[in-house]
Amino acid sequence: MKRLALVVLMGLGASLANAQDAHFSQFYSNPLYLAPSFAGSSMGSRVALNYRDQWPAIPGTYITSSFSMDHYFPRIKSGMGLYFHMNRVGGGKMSVLNVGYQYSYKIQVTHDFFIQPGLSAYFYSRNTDYSQLNFADQFFGYEFLGTTSEVLPNQNSNHVDFSASVLGYTDKYWFGFTTDHLIAISPELSGSLDYPDIRFSVFGGVKVVTKRNFARYRNNETLHFAFNYRNQAKVNQLDIGGYYFRRPVLVGVWYRGIPLGNRYFNSDALIFMGGLKFGNFTVSYSYDMTMGRLISTTGGSHEVSIIYSFLSKFTVKRRYKALPCPDF
């Protein structure tokens, strides 16, 4: 029991002290959270729902959910999207809400290569319920005194924040980077716990067609190899792996973590994914198997994603200009 409590306190403490953002194993199923450049990347309209339950064996840990919608406007070569994100830590001891707007613009560099810069402006709100937390000076032996001398930061933090990204792609590969929490660039704000640390992400991948059906292009069999590297508050994280798609089945295996070079302990995981894709509808599930000493304690992580794309006439005619990255 003490070990479980310690794990919860470590997770909550890391969230408070270093302002770590939530992560998704199926990051390509949550494209607007990954980078604003993905707004309109389906070349039509798209709606996405995501839910993640991290470490369910420990009561009241990390529950993350999001909803997004985006659309591509071919006349102005622009994608626009709306994003809603909620993260609850410690059974509601801390909660984070993001509501934002994304914009991207498609630039054709060559016949096959495109660059898509993106910007996001969003409202960031974090609430910490200190009444549910106990500190060491509140105890005298086994007796609970009920008061603390700890100097606590603000219970609520509300402000506007920004992110920027650049994405480059062809019909076979893609790569890009994102810089989030740009408000913290200010030297006066960077040291405040009210403002999350800047998050820097680099991502990319390649699509390989293993079996081509020229009569029915939709029946191609493909492999997708990809990575997503993140750095925030001196903590590094790398997700690397691949997917296999043969309609209607999608399966994938990933590895998360950088064993060396991290200031803080990095809990590595093997991630197993599976999903079904029927027409414009995709549903996928992933399980994170925690590695190391916590393998029998956390219960892993469960994640579900649902995506529906509304293809336009423009999308059908010019599908080759859509991003080659998978739906999850």
73 pLDDT exceeds 90? yes
- 3-state class (DSSP) for residue 189: coil
Structural tokens at position 263: 């200031």
pLDDT in tens, 25-59: 999 999 999 999 999 998 889 999 999 998 888 87
pLDDT: is 152 or 128 the higher one? 128
CA gap 23, 118 in Å, rounded: 20
Three-state SS for 54-101 is ECCCCCCCEEEEEEEEEEEEHHHCEEEEEEEEEEEECCCCEEEEEEEE
Q: What percent of the chain has pLDDT over 90?
A: 49
Reported confidence tier of residue 239, pLDDT bands at 50, 70, 90: very high
Superfamily of domain 2-321: monomeric porin ompg (2.40.160.40)
pLDDT value at residue 321 = 58
Of 184, 41, 189, 192, give the one whose Cα is nearest residue 102: 41
CB burial of residue 202 (10 Å; 0-12, 13-18, 19+): middle
Tokens of 40: 């309109």
By the 8 A CB rule, do 220 and 212 touch?
Answer: yes
